[in-house]
Amino acid sequence: MARYIINRLFQAVIVLIGVSIAVAAMTEFVPGDPALAILGENASPDAIAALREEMGFDDPFWVQYGRFIERLLTEGSLGTSLRTNREVLVEIGDRLPYTLMLTFGAVGLSTVLGITSGILAAVRRGKPTDMAVLVGTTAGLSVPSFWVALLMIWFFSIRLGWLPVAGAGTWQHLVLPTLTLALPSIATKSRLTRSAMLEALGQDYIRTGRAKGLRERRVILVHALRNALLPVMTIVGLQFGALLGGAFITEVIFGWPGVGQLAVNSILQRDFPVVQGTVLLVTVGFVLTNLIVDILYAWADPRIHYA
């Protein structure tokens, strides 16, 4: 177990170094001159030369990467935004609480609804409840969530006037974005819970439990669920990272002032340091969540022995 954790940590460090190289190399892959791409076609040659100098585009990649890492480790800086001249980390830091609020809300909502509907479907296998959940989850995975978001805005905000159309501030602002973000995730978790529950319910210990006269409620909620939840919890962890990235579209629709909106605006304005900073931070968050999930999994499931 200790050896597995050390291996896994070592692996995560390598991945993080790789990710940082890939992110630092982003400007290398910009077709043509990155300074020209940032400033636009009408920029003066002097301005382009000055930016090249400032960003260090003329140095070989490894020199640029060294500078990137050195600045990050010694000054804790990811550079400054080309548009606002503020520290990238400050820009992101201002937005991060909003994205985390949205992500945690969506993870919580999708976990509760996904697991509940999955259990119901498994227990009522083949019955109308199961069919309804199947139809619901298939729709959840196929219907574009940004479209559902628009329909919800139209219905709840425009027609009924119950919820704000966009922005942030009150709990009412949080309702529609959280629902939008949670939607596909509810479907994934529900399907997974259903199949894990069906597998658990087919085990011998369930029959034993029933045979010794345990209440069906206890058999399902304690004996089967406890074993079915393990794979589901892994997905909950993995989806946390995915939702962190997936919040991009949702944030743009609802004018939610989070990291995703910042990233999309920065791409459209060619503000590379901010784009790089966002990609790096969200990916690091994703890698670390995966790491924690893996370690928790090894700890929670004593049957598994890792080499």
Partner 1 sequence: MSSTTASLANAPTTDTGLNHAARTPRAMYWRRFRRNPLCITGALLLALLMFLAAFGHLLAPHDPILVNTADRFIAPGAQYFFGTDEFGRDIFSRILYGARIAVQVGIVSVVVAFVGGIVLGLISGYYSGWIDTILSRLLEIWLSFPDILFVIAVVAILGPSLNNVIVALGFLSIPAYARIVRGSVMSARQEVYVEAARSVGVSNARIMGRHILPNVVAPLIILSSLRFGGALLTGAGLSFIGLGAQPPEPEWGAILSGGRTYMYQAPWITVFPGIAIAVFVLGINMLGDGLRDVLDPRLTR
Compute and round to an integer the Cα radius of gyration of the chain. 24
How many angstroms separate the Cα of 229 from the Cα of each of 197, 207, 232? 8, 19, 5
Residues contacting 83, CB < 8 A, separation 6+: 266, 269, 271, 274
The yes or no reply on residue 166 touching partner 1 (CB under 8 A) is no
Residues 113 and 186 sit within 8 Å (Cβ to Cβ): yes
Task: Say how many residues touch partner 1, by CB under 8 A.
Answer: 57
Q: Which stretch binds partner 1 (CB under 8 A): 70-78, 95-103, 224-232, 266-274?
A: 266-274
CA distance 33 to 58: 10
Instruction: For Cα atoms 169, 172, 175, give the angle at the middle one, nearest 5 degrees.
Output: 115
**Residue 80 main-chain phi, psi, to 5 deg:** -120, 150
Binding to partner 1 in span 183-212, by CB under 8 A: 191, 194-195
Strands (E), the chain: none
Q: Which stretch binds partner 1 (CB under 8 A): 75-83, 100-108, 242-250, 295-303?
A: 242-250
Quote the least distance from Cβ 287 to partner 1, whole Å.
Answer: 5
The yes or no reply on residue 29 touching partner 1 (CB under 8 A) is yes
The yes or no reply on residue 290 touching partner 1 (CB under 8 A) is yes
Q: Which stretch binds partner 1 (CB under 8 A): 65-73, 83-91, 134-142, 212-220?
A: 134-142
Footprint of partner 1 (CB under 8 A): 11, 14-15, 18-19, 22-23, 26-27, 29-31, 37, 125-126, 130-131, 134, 138-139, 141-147, 150-151, 153-154, 158, 191, 194-195, 241-242, 244-246, 248-249, 252-253, 263-264, 266-268, 272, 275, 279, 282-283, 286-287, 290
